[in-house]
A and B are shown apart, each in its own frame.
Chain A
C-alpha cells in the first residue's frame, strides 16, 4: 500500500487522488523518446479504428459494435475487514435483558415492568463501524464566557496538534446513533478476525461507497476535534460558534463489524427494543414503556392542594 506524499494517509490501489488532501496518487509516468507519432486505437475484435462514445462511456467500434473497456473510477461499497467475536451468549443476553428490566427505575417507568414484560425475540447482529487513527493539526475560533466584558461572550482562537487513536465512528443504520455511541466503549478492538467467525448471524452492510465513507469520516474527525476543544482547550464554562479547520494527516481506517444482540419484549401488548453488547455484559441499552398515571396523580394532588389552600385563604378572609 502506498501513502500520500503530502498528508501521509494510506492510498488504496485504485485511488487516483488522496481522499484527504486531493494530491494525485504517485504513478510511473513513462516519458516517450524520439519523434512525434500518431497512435490509432484499434478494436480488439476486428482491428478497425475506434472512437470514444458518450452512450457507452467507452470506445466503441463502428464496424463490429464491440465496446472496449476503460478503467473506471473505482468506488466500491465498503465491506467489513475485521469481525469482533461474540463473547456473550444468547442465553446470557436474555438474562441480561431480564436484569436490566428489573433495574429500570424512574418516575415514568411502570413499577411492574419486570414482572409484566414478556420476551419476544432475540437477533444477534454484527453492526458496522469505522475505526480510525488520525493525527490532526487543528486551528479553531470560538466564543466563550471567559474574558467577557459588557457582552456575554468573548472571542478566542488557537491551534494545536491532536491525535485520535482508535476512534470508532458508527456506520450502522440498524442501530440509532445513541445506541451505537453507548455500546462502542465496551468492545475489545484487538479481538477482530478477518472472516465471519460465526454462521447464522446477520452482518449489516456499510451501505455507502468508499468516497462517501471517507467524507463522513473527515466530518466526524472535525466534530470530534470540536468536542475535544470544548472540553480541553477553549477557556470558560460556556462556548458557542466553535469553528474548526483541520489538517488531517496519516488517517488510517479499518472497517469493523461489531457484535450485539437486538432483543424485543412486549409490555401490555406493545413491542419495545433493547440492545445487549455482544462482548461486555455491562452494556445494555433499551427503551422502556412510560406510564403517565403517576404524573396525572401528582398533578391532581397538586391541584387539590392549591384549591384547598385557596379555599382556606378565602374562608380566612371572609371570617
Chain B
C-alpha cells in the first residue's frame, strides 16, 4: 500500500444535517459543522495514494486525566530543564487521531562477529581471567512486528517514539463510528520518507535482537547486513492529546503530546545549560574553597 503524499487541495463538503458548506483542509478526515455542531466524517474519492485507515486505536484517556498527566509531567521536570516550561500554564487540550503506519516484515540478516569466551589461569591470588576470541558467522531470521511510524507532517516520528508504545491489542478495525466527533488527520508524509523511517526502525529493532542473539561471554565487531522482505504498511489512527504551551510571549508555543491510550507524556523540555554550568562552577568552587581552608588549617597548626 502506498502512503499518501500531499499535494491535494482543500475541499468543500455540505453538512448532511443543516446543509451548510464546510471547508476542509487537505489533511482533515473529520470536521464539525459550525452551525449545527454535527460531526461529519469526510469520504474522499478513491485514491491509491491516499489509503483508507485500516485500523484505529480508540481514545481511552479522559481529558481531565490527560491534563493531570501533563501537569504531573510538568511538576516532575528537573531544575536543569529551565523554568519556562515548568511555570507555563497548561490549557487548551486538543484531541487528534494521528495517522500512523504500522509496518511489519520478514528480516533476514547475515552477521559476522568475534565471540569472547572467558577462561581462567592460575589459582588463589594469582587467578586471572582471560578472553579467547573466536570468529563466528551466521544468519538470523525473524518477523519484524508492530513498528509504528508517524504519517503526519505535524507530528514528527521522533516525538511519536517518545510516547510509544501503544497497546495494539486494543486495535479496532477502522470504522467512522470510532472517530465521529473527533478530529482525525489524513496522512501527509511523503511515501518515501515513511518507508525509510519504518525500515530504519526495523533495522534498529533487528540490531537490538542481534545483540541479544550472540553467544559467549562477550563479543566485539558485530557486523550485519539485513534484508527486509514481505513488507507491509497499514494505516492506523492513533489517539493523541496535544497541548500547545506558550513558554514566553515572544516565543512560539511548544507542544506537549499525551498518549491518548496510555497517558505517556512527551514535551520538548530544553536543558538549561546556564544552570548546569552554574552547578559545575559551584561544585568546583566549593572543592577549591574546602581545599584552601584545609590547607590554611594545616598551615596554622604547623
Q: List residues of chain A with CB under 8 Å of any chain B CB.
A: 6-7, 16-17, 20-24, 27, 29, 31-41, 49-52, 54-55, 57-59, 68, 70-73, 75, 137, 139, 141-143, 148-159, 211, 240-241, 243, 245-247
Evaluate contact between B232 and A247: CB separation under 8 angstroms. no
Cβ–Cβ < 8 Å partners of B142 in chain A: 139, 245-247
Count chain A CB atoms within 10 A of each CB in B17, B36, B137, B170 and give the residue with the most.
B17
Bound Cα distance A49, B30 (Å):
14
Residue of B61, B209, B230 touching A54 (CB-CB under 8 A):
B61
Is the CB–CB distance between A150 and B130 below 8 Å? yes
Question: Complex formed: what's the CA distance from A141 to B141 in Å?
Answer: 12
Report if A155-B215 is in contact (Cβ < 8 Å); known contacts: A24-B54, A38-B22, A54-B61. yes
Contact of A38 among B31, B61, B143, B232 (CB under 8 A): B31
Range class of the B interface residue count: 35 or more
Name the contact of A39 in the complex, choosing from B59, B132, B176, B214 (C-beta under 8 A): B176
Are B181 and A51 interface neighbours, CB within 8 A? yes
Q: Which of B18-62 contact A (CB under 8 A)?
A: 22, 24, 31, 36-46, 52, 54-55, 58-62
Is B155 at the interface (CB under 8 A from chain A)?
Answer: no
Name the A residues within 8 Å of B181 (CB-CB). 50-52, 59
Contact A37 B136 (CB under 8 A): no
A149 CB contacts on chain B under 8 angstroms:
132
Report the separation of the CA atoms of residues A118 and B134 in the bound assembly, to the nearest whole angstrom.
62
Q: Does B204 touch A at the CB level, under 8 Å? A: no
Shortest distance from the beta carbon of B234 to any chain A beta carbon, whole Å: 5
Q: If the complex has contacts A37-B43, A38-B13, A241-B216, are A52 and B179 also in contact, measured as CB distance less than 8 A?
A: yes
Q: Closest chain B residue to A55 by CB distance?
A: B62
Contact B38 A49 (CB under 8 A): yes
Smallest CB separation, A60 vs chain B (Å): 10
Distance in angstroms between the alpha carbons of A57 and B214 in the assembled complex? 45
Which B-chain residue is minimally distant from A72 (CB atoms)? B172
Residue contact A151 to B119, C-beta cutoff 8 Å: yes
Complex CA gap A63/B9 in Å reads 35
A245:B140 contact, CB within 8 angstroms: yes
A243 touching B215, Cβ below 8 Å:
yes
B 96-136 to A, binary, CB cutoff 8 A, 1 in contact else 0: 00000010101000000001011100000000001110101
Q: Which residues of B contact A40 (CB under 8 A)?
A: 15-17, 38-41
With A37-B42, A51-B180 known as contacts, the answer to whether A245 contacts B213 (CB < 8 A) is yes
Quick check: is B173 within 8 A (CB to CB) of the other chain?
yes
A244 and chain B: residue at smallest CB distance = B213
Whether B300 is near chain A, meaning CB under 8 Å from some CB there, is: no
* Residues in chain A near residue B214, CB distance under 8 A: 141, 243
| B118 cross-chain contacts in A, Cβ below 8 A | 151
B149 to chain A, nearest CB (A): 14
CB distance from B138 to the nearest CB of A (A): 3
Contacts A49-B39, A57-B58, A247-B141 known; 4 new A-B pairs at CB < 8 A? A36-B44, A41-B177, A52-B58, A73-B171
Tell yes or no: B175 within 8 A of A by CB: yes
**B156 interface contact, C-beta 8 A:** no
How far does the Cβ of A65 sit from chain B's closest Cβ, in whole Å?
15
The residues of A that contact B209 with a CB separation of less than 8 Å are 245
The reply to whether the CB of B251 lies closer than 8 angstroms to some CB of chain A is no
Shortest distance between the CB of B294 and any CB in chain A (Å): 50
Residue of B nearest to A142 (CB): B215
Question: Nearest chain-A residue to B119 (Cβ)?
Answer: A151
Q: A22-B104, A38-B31, A137-B141 are in contact. Are A70 and B182 (CB under 8 A)?
A: no
Q: Chain B: which residue is nearest A47 at the CB level? A: B17
Decide yes or no: A211 and B169 within 8 Å by CB, A41-B41, A52-B179 being known contacts: yes
Q: Is the CB of B215 within 8 A of A139?
A: no
Contact B139 A41 (CB under 8 A): no
- Near A by CB (< 8 A), chain B positions 275-294 give none
Residue B153, interface by CB 8 Å: no
Nearest CB of A to B228, in Å: 12
A68 to B181, CA, bound (A): 14
Closest to B40 in A: A38
A-B CB contact pairs (8 Å), 17 listed: A6-B232, A21-B104, A21-B106, A22-B145, A33-B45, A49-B17, A49-B36, A51-B181, A54-B59, A54-B61, A55-B62, A71-B173, A151-B118, A151-B132, A241-B215, A245-B213, A247-B142
For the complex, is B76 an interface residue (Cβ under 8 Å from A)?
no
Find out whether the CB atom of A73 lies under 8 angstroms from the CB atom of B172.
yes
